[in-house]
Structure 1
């Protein structure tokens, strides 16, 4: 028996439609008729157990919340993340990528949980590079991977002057290869478009 349904109240996030949920039965501290948070599809929140998404929190992509887990506040769970057991994710916390939060774990505040690739490039004059899902952070600049490789020289120089321009010129190719190996899904829409145009 279903414990919740998707309502007609929606919000958009990067082209994804998220639906507010409504409890159909009472379970745990949730009462029938209570509005919950948002999910992209029913696969995001288990129909069994006391798992629930509330407030303005949301779950999307292939992420799943199940068992007795709770996601609340303005928290976000996305990518291939799993939140299970009696775990709680709340506040402005983010759980994404292939991250797993389970047992009695609590993730809250501004916490971020995700498997990450961290690369230090360029020695003293270089930057730390972090690859997260389909995004890459170089120094303090955080953008989609595809956006990085679309930036022209002027845009790169605006980030940190000649230092960033020299760094990008020296390491752009290496970073492109690393991203293609580690995050091929980030390039899927571009590769598909190129293949279509070539045909």
Structure 2
């Protein structure tokens, strides 16, 4: 069963000289503290956020490119996950943190504040 849907609301951002369209998500069912109809954050495609498990993107957080959020991971606040980055397990990316490139954030890791993780 799908856990989120696109709301129809979009925003365009510029990244490395190209414009990317992000889509706001909304929870399609209750799961792990997220209530049905709750607005989520912004993703480029459904490949960015798993429909299985309990991962969630909320607030003004953005996930795009080939980045993936899965497991019980959370990306929220004004955080950004991009490139080929993965956020998985019970990891959190929050605040103004940025995870990009080929970086992986996993386990019980927390990336917050103005932190930047790349690789």
In the superposition, the TM-score normalised over structure 1's length comes to: 0.57
**Larger helix share, 1 or 2:** 1
Instruction: Tell me what 2:11 maps to.
Output: 11
Instruction: Tell me what 2:45 maps to.
Output: 41
Aligned residues: 115
Q: What is the CA distance between 1:6 and its match in structure 2?
A: 1.2
Larger radius of gyration: 1
Instruction: Tell me what 1:105 maps to.
Output: 109
The 1-side partners of 2:10 and 2:72 are apart by 25
The Cα offsets for residues 53-85 of structure 1, whole Å up to 9 and x where unpaired, read as: 000001000000000000000000000000000
Instruction: Tell me what 1:92 maps to.
Output: 96
The 2-side partners of 1:7 and 1:79 are apart by 24
* 1:1-199 correspondence to structure 2 within 5 Å: 1-14=1-14, 15-115=19-119
**Larger strand share, 1 or 2:** 2
Higher relative contact order (CA 8 A, sep 6+): 2
Give the aligned CA root-mean-square deviation in angstroms: 0.4
